[in-house]
Amino acid sequence: MQEIYYNFFNFEIYKEVFPYLLDGLWMTLLLSALVIPVGVISGLGIGILSITLTSRWSRTLLAIYIDVFRALPPLYLLIFIYFATPFLGIDLPKMLAVVLGFMLNNSSYYGEIFRAGLQSVPHGQVEAARSTGLSAMQTLWHVQIPQATRNVMPDLISNTLEVVKMTTLASAVAMPELLRVARDAQSLVYNPSPIVLAALIYLALLWPIVRLLSRLEHRKLGGGH
pLDDT in tens, 189-216: 888 899 999 999 999 988 988 888 777 7
Q: Tell whether domain 2-221 is in CATH 2.60.40.1580.
A: no
134 — pLDDT class (breaks 50, 70, 90): confident
131 — pLDDT class (breaks 50, 70, 90): confident
Percentage of residues in the chain with pLDDT exceeding 90? 44
Measured distance CA(80)–CA(88) in Å, rounded:
12
pLDDT of residue 220: 64
221 — pLDDT class (breaks 50, 70, 90): low
119 — pLDDT class (breaks 50, 70, 90): very high
From the list 114, 209, 104, the residue with the least C-alpha distance to 164 is: 209
pLDDT of residue 225: 44
- The per-residue DSSP string of 43-105 comes to HHHHHHHHHH---HHHHHHHHHHHHHHHHS-HHHHHHHHHHHGGGGT----HHHHHHHHHHHH
| CA distances, 35 to each of 65, 78, 156, 159 (Å) | 19, 13, 14, 12
Please, what's the b/e burial string for 100-120 (b: 16 or more CB within 10 A of its CB; e: otherwise)? bbbbbbbbbbbbbbbbebbee
pLDDT single digits (tens) 145-188 = 999 998 898 899 889 999 998 888 888 887 888 888 999 998 88
Q: Which residues contact 138 (CB under 8 A, 6 or more apart)?
A: 129
107 — pLDDT class (breaks 50, 70, 90): very high
pLDDT single digits (tens) 81-98 = 988 888 888 888 888 999
Measured distance CA(209)–CA(134) in Å, rounded:
36
pLDDT single digits (tens) 45-75 = 999 999 989 899 999 999 999 999 999 898 8
168 in Cβ contact with 102 (< 8 Å): no
CB atoms within 10 A of CB 158: 16
pLDDT of residue 175: 82
pLDDT of residue 222: 60
The pLDDT of residue 114 is above 80: yes
Measured distance CA(49)–CA(59) in Å, rounded:
8
Distance of CA 6 to the CA centre of its chain: 34
